[in-house]
Amino acid sequence: MNFSGTLRINKFACFTLLFILFVIIYWRSNGGTYPTDKNEIINLKTLLTAAIHAAEYGGRKVVEGTNRDLNIKSKGKTKEGVNDPVTDADQASHCVMFYGLTKTFPKLTIVSEEHSINDRKCEDQEPFNTDTPPPQHRMIEDMNNELVFAKDITIWIDPLDATKEYTEGLYQYVTTMVCVAYKGIPIIGVIHYPFPPENPQTYWGWLAKKTSSNVANVAHQEEYKENPRVVVSISHQGKVSEMAKEAFGPKTTVSNAAGAGYKVMGVVNGTYDVYLHATAIKKWDLCAGDAIIRTVDGKMTTAKGDYIDYSPNADVKVTEGVLVTRYDHEYYLSKISKRL
């Protein structure tokens, strides 16, 4: 009888089993990422889960900030001479969102509106949960895994959109946002409304897959082309209201609102037909909304009709104007392109 053969096989089987176990443990402790340097694999499902946690955690910091001295500083003035403030809440939210995501996915490129301040406590964040989404978003657990290379991913975060309105107590406009771009294309967007604190809301879209269940279906209505409901920015108004009326006709209704996240969501939920922005705007203000509007088959383009590139080395500013619609994008684009 030859015992050594079976022994060898068993040894081999044991070794293989141990190796697989080791890989699984290593993988889980790395937040669902494989540690193979350049070609590290990221699971988009775990990224969406972590992105929701990040936006909600940031939102709690934003709410907490209202109970303290806001410590408003200015980052300068916008082109229209509007003060561009930053508060301790922007920083606190940046800390948890940026460093939380960095700890969860060390290999990913993350672009944030705010910069890191020299604060050890700030960098000392726990990784986010990548397995279990918050209770209202449990449907994600039933979605398929989707693996991509880490090098193709850029995360854009806005730790507090509509800071000026936040300092004025106009909390309804305030959002925190996380966006995942794959090769420059926004594929996952999370927009979180931290206010009112007793009923915060998170909306998300994963391109070609699903939106969060709170994103409503909106029927296409042809007659809105005749009297479109357009939303423009309060703080960067410029001449855009007039331009909208000239471009879309006298029956156009123009409303003002703050926060790019808020305005895009207004188009997503059918409150507005068009969001028109004429001045320069940063990509962290747009990316998450871009991903969500794409997921519901709407569109965000520059006023020239180009898609926005969210690669890390592209310019962070969009200067050609922005047009967001859920329906009839080409129609509205043709109307404004004559005026720009």
Q: Which residues are annotated as a binding site for Mg(2+)?
A: 113, 158, 160-161, 285
**Burial category of 199 from C-beta neighbours within 10 Å (exposed 0-12, middle 13-18, buried 19 and up):** exposed
Residue 262 engages ligand NAG in binding (rule: CB under 6 A): yes
Least distance to ligand NAG, CB of residue 133, Å: 21
Other CB atoms within 10 Å distance of the CB of residue 41: 15
Residue 116 engages ligand NAG in binding (rule: CB under 6 A): no
Residue 271 engages ligand NAG in binding (rule: CB under 6 A): yes
Q: Which is nearer to ligand NAG, 115 or 220 (CB)?
A: 220
Distance CA 284, CA 82 (A): 19
Residue 266 engages ligand NAG in binding (rule: CB under 6 A): yes
* Binding site as annotated, residues: 113, 158, 160-161, 285
Q: Look up residue 34 and give its amino acid.
A: Y
Distance CA 223, CA 36 (A): 54
Residue 269 engages ligand NAG in binding (rule: CB under 6 A): yes
Among 205, 200, 154, 199, CA closest to 176: 200
52-67 burial by CB neighbour count: b if 16+ within 10 A, else e? bbbbbbbbbbbbebbe
Choice from 207, 265, 292, 303 touching ligand NAG (CB under 6 A): 265
Q: Look up residue 338 and give its amino acid.
A: K
Q: Which is nearer to ligand NAG, 200 or 305 (CB)?
A: 200
Interacting positions 45-84 with ligand NAG (CB under 6 A): none
Q: Which is nearer to ligand NAG, 109 or 271 (CB)?
A: 271
Residue 253 engages ligand NAG in binding (rule: CB under 6 A): no
Least distance to ligand NAG, CB of residue 288, Å: 13
Distance CA 228, CA 248 (A): 7
Q: Look up residue 189 and give its amino acid.
A: G
Q: Which is nearer to ligand NAG, 271 or 302 (CB)?
A: 271
Binding site for ligand NAG (CB under 6 A): 262, 265-266, 269, 271
